[in-house]
Amino acid sequence: MKTDLRIIKTQESLRNALLSLLKIKPLESINISELCRLAKINRGTFYLHYQNVHGVFESYFEEIIDDLRKSYEEPYLQTDFNIQNLKSDMIIIFHHVKRYEGFYQIIFDEASPVRYYYKLFHAIRKMMKELTMNSVDFLPEKQVEYFVSYQTNAIMGILLEWHSNHFSTSPDELNEYLYSFSKLVSE
Amino acid sequence: MKTDLRIIKTQESLRNALLSLLKIKPLESINISELCRLAKINRGTFYLHYQNVHGVFESYFEEIIDDLRKSYEEPYLQTDFNIQNLKSDMIIIFHHVKRYEGFYQIIFDEASPVRYYYKLFHAIRKMMKELTMNSVDFLPEKQVEYFVSYQTNAIMGILLEWHSNHFSTSPDELNEYLYSFSKLVSE
DNA sequence: TATTTTATTGTACACCTGTTCATTTAAAAT
DNA sequence: ATTTTAAATGAACAGGTGTACAATAAAATA
């Protein structure tokens, strides 16, 4: 059973309207009424699909996250599922964020709900868990969960620093850093 | 020149009203009008002090962060500025979050602005920088900044995991984990 | 094509928001 | 105690919010 065409049309209009508005003003300043006016959608209809403007943005962000997931799976398909080392896998994240730099400016904006941060965190965490699961199987399960979150968020710390300098470092340089940091930690 | 008594009274009323409301409903559902009604403050007056409900909460959070800073400085005063090792310093953070568990439930709530996360991040980062500065002076400055953010956010990853299990692990246990993870990373 | 289903619309309502401005009132300064 | 300063108030306004419901129109189905 496929989705009603009217639903697709409504959601597309709203997304396009949001993308247009984002080119001229920040997300926080966009309200439902003006979004609906631009999208030529009745305001009541809006509430049949989303709760607020963030809902429209979030549905777009979910597709961007899907793109990250695909980037992660690709190399495995190519190399016949040979597990590569953690560091060379993480460069995928830096390239992904760089590609959608404009969006990640919004994701990491102070006013954005921390929900966006969590969405990215969980996407990266899932990769991280696959990569580290085997190497820490001597740890109790609870501790493994903590370790994966610890590792994942360390990388997100690099993203935060990257954002604070307006993504002015290259993905390759960041990957070098990441590699050297993991050598550094336990001296 | 000290603050006008009327200002203090207004801000106190609003804070008390917010704390009362937080006991019965989530932060996101509290609006300015009801907050002012409860605080017996004219709504126009509210805008002379804050932009939104989060502003009232944030001013309270800043004092909680100050408390963390003080906890961090204390041991140095006691032990005559002997720099202890990184792990034993970080347990302060776990105890702090546990003490204000109710507030950190809100700070880490999906709907909260990521600004709160950043506030905590920067407080911890400042401690982390002091603690690691000397041991990585062979790195170029830019890389040091990345490393400090990497290290800081790793610890915040533990806090995220802690929050997701409703702070059910003890601070001492978390500190054990943190210690073992730093041994683990570069195998 | 005719019929059924359901998404969208238009209208209405009570309430919230952010701002302005003249007036009142309380604190600070003399 | 009186004057000066400035914070708080109350009223008003245009616009946004979230919800409800009957009417319309477009898509799916037979």
Dump pLDDT digits (tens) for A145-155: 999 999 999 99
The integer distance in angstroms from the CA atom of A49 to the C1' atom of C6 is 14
CB contact at 8 A, B104 and B163 = yes
Dump pLDDT digits (tens) for A112-130: 999 999 999 999 999 999 9
**What values do phi and psi take at B113, rounded to 5?**
-65, 145
Give the DSSP H/E element, type plus range, for residue B114: helix B114-132
The reply to whether B6 Cβ lies less than 7 angstroms from strand D is yes
- The low-confidence residues of chain A, meaning pLDDT below 50, are 80-83, 186-187
**pLDDT for the residue numbered A123:** 98
Angstrom CA distances, B115 to A62, A166, B62, B69, B120, stand at 22, 17, 12, 18, 9
Tens-of-pLDDT digits for all 187 residues of chain B? 789 999 999 999 999 999 999 999 999 999 999 999 999 999 999 999 999 999 999 999 999 999 999 999 876 655 544 445 666 789 999 999 999 999 999 999 999 999 999 999 999 999 999 998 888 888 998 999 999 999 999 999 999 999 999 999 999 999 999 999 987 764 4
A145 lies within 8 A of chain B by CB: yes
d(CA B139, CA A62): 37
**pLDDT for the residue numbered A170:** 97
What is the pTM (predicted TM-score) of this model? 0.94
Determine the distance in angstroms separating the CA of B17 from the nearest CA of chain A, rounded to an integer: 24
What would the DSSP string read from start to end of chain A?
-PPPHHHHHHHHHHHHHHHHHHTTS-GGG--HHHHHHHHT--HHHHHHH-SSHHHHHHHHHHHHHHHHHHHHHHHHHHTTT----HHHHHHHHHHHHHHTHHHHHHHTSTTSBHHHHHHHHHHHHHHHHHHHTGGGTTS-HHHHHHHHHHHHHHHHHHHHHHHHTTT-S-HHHHHHHHHHHHHHS--
What would the DSSP string read from start to end of B136-151?
GTTS-HHHHHHHHHHH
Chain A residues with CB-CB distance to B138 below 8 A: none
CB-nearest to A154 from B154, B180, B183 is B154
The nucleotides of chain C lying under 7 Å from a protein CB are 6-12, 15-21, 26-29
- Computed over every residue of chain A, the mean pLDDT equals 92
Residues linked to residue A113 through DSSP beta bridges, in sequence order: B113
Residue type, B33: S
d(CA A30, CA A98): 25
Determine the distance in angstroms separating the CA of B129 from the nearest CA of chain A, rounded to an integer: 14
B117 lies within 8 A of chain A by CB: yes
Contact call for B117 and A114, based on CB within 8 A:
yes
**pLDDT for the residue numbered B75:** 65
Size of interface A-B (CB pairs under 8 A): 125
Find which nucleotide's C1' atom is closest to A30's CA.
D16
CB-nearest to B157 from A154, A174, A183 is A154
